[in-house]
Amino acid sequence: MIYFDNSATTQTDPSVVATYVKVTEEVFGNPSSLHHLGDHADGLLQQSRKQVASIMGVEPKEIFFTSGGTEGDNWAIKGTAIEKGKYGKHLITSSVEHPAVKESMAQLEKQGFEVTYLSVNREGIISLEELKEALRSDTILVSIMAVNNEVGSIQPIAEIGEILKAYPKVHFHVDAVQAIGKIKLDLSASSRVDLATFSAHKFHGPKGIGFMYIRQGKKIAPLLSGGGQEFGRRSGTENLAGIVAMSKALRLLYTDALVKQQKQREIKEYLSAGLEKYSKVSVFSSPTGAPHILCFALRGIRGEVFVHAMEKVGIYISTTSACSSRSQTSSSTLSAMHVPENLATSAVRVSLTDTNTLAEAKQFLVEFAKLEEQFRDIH
């Protein structure tokens, strides 16, 4: 099997699974309980928070455990709207965000908020000038993803932060789900990022667990009210096994991260060069994009047909995103990048992780050549 669908999810690392099982079996106490079983669980919870914070270069009190990327995005956006809606009702995002952002924005629009969707260029990148023009006195939030999940475009987060330094009251949220471990992420005081969303299953951690970075002093309303866990900001009994396992996965992710990124970039470049030899192939991912995502189309062949043909030879890829593939809608990211509809419906995504190899990429190209020939005959 060749698994090239790592932006949909990654295989949980066996040592992370072992940690998850061990904590589940041995530390079943509720971190809120007063007895020593509770203390033990709470100790492990705070230790994980410290570890995550230290790896991310932030303070432990700035890390909040969530159920993953969707919750983080919803919390950042709706939590800001609830908290700051009395000061302004305008939000800014891009036209290439994950549905967790887009749909949260759409829900707020129905509640009377106004949303500006920044356009992107052919590489999927927003214009800083357009952002500057969009900012208003009633803007309360700018939410821009660091790395796009469909084509891997990298947004200019540092430059957006520079612009937002003149707007200290505007919250700046970054969906960093596809960026963690793949590009440099700066959450330091000078970065101006207030809120950032992360999800463990994208870096070999368990599904259903993630974390949010919330800069100290920045207020967003809780979405989950209840027993006051996570410093009173995200209630619900903590998924301790998931949290400890995620912090282990994060440690592994950041061990030799640069070497791993470089390896993925080499594989992406190798694949891209191999595919571009075919006149019927269009590559949508920029060479300067994230190292792990390569989106392309074989003209005339629908994405899902291509995905299933590859599956038959043991290679797992996806149409542009796992979310849009079941609904069979063409990618809104590609249409925002002005890719014509007939080409967008042929788009597929190869997404890599650090365990992928050049040998797998070679095998992919061998199978691609066979498929291309087969489809050529059909046409």
Ligand X SMILES: Cc1ncc(COP(=O)(O)O)c(C=O)c1O
Residues lying near ligand X in the complex (CB under 6 A) are found at 68-70, 73, 98, 100, 145, 149, 175, 177-178, 199, 210
Nearer to ligand X among residue 80 and residue 199 (C-beta): 199
In the complex, what is the shortest distance from the CB of residue 150 to ligand X, in angstroms, rounded to a whole number? 9
Of the two residues 209 and 309, which places its CB atom closer to ligand X in the complex?
209
Return d(Cα 216, Cα 328) in angstroms, integer.
Answer: 41
Least gap, CB of 16 to ligand X (angstroms): 15
Tell me the residue number closest to ligand X, measured at CB.
69
Task: Report in angstroms how near the CB of residue 166 gets to ligand X at its nearest.
Answer: 27
Smallest distance from ligand X to CB 175, Å: 5
* Opening angle at CA 282, ends 2 and 271, nearest 5: 35
CB of 143 vs ligand X, minimal distance in Å = 11
> What's at 96, amino acid-wise?
V
Longest pairwise C-alpha distance within the chain: 71
Could you say which DSSP state residue 72 is in? H
CB-based contacts of 308, cutoff 8 Å, min separation 6: none
Q: Which residues contact 354 (CB under 8 A, 6 or more apart)?
A: 260, 263, 264
Which C-beta is closer to ligand X: that of 88 or that of 205? Answer: 205
What residues act catalytically?
A: 323
Contacts of 110 (CB under 8 A, 6+ apart): none
For residue 94, the minimal CB distance to ligand X (Å) is: 11
Question: Considering beta carbons, is residue 199 or 282 the nearer one to ligand X?
Answer: 199
Residues 6+ apart with CB under 8 A from 209: 65, 66, 67, 68, 199, 200, 201, 239, 242, 243, 245, 246
The amino acid sitting at 376 is R
Please report which helix (H) or strand (E) contains residue 351, including its range.
strand 347-351
Bin 65: left if φ > 0, else alpha if -120 < ψ < 50, else beta.
beta
As measured in angstroms, the least distance from the Cβ of 177 to ligand X is 4
Rounded-to-10 torsion of CA 69, 74, 75, 77: 120
d(CA 286, CA 19): 37
Alpha helix locations (H) across the chain? 14-26, 36-56, 69-84, 99-110, 128-134, 157-164, 229-232, 240-253, 257-276, 303-312, 322-327, 332-336, 341-344, 358-378
Query: Considering only CA atoms, which of 234, 229, 243, 255 is closest in space to residue 55?
Result: 255
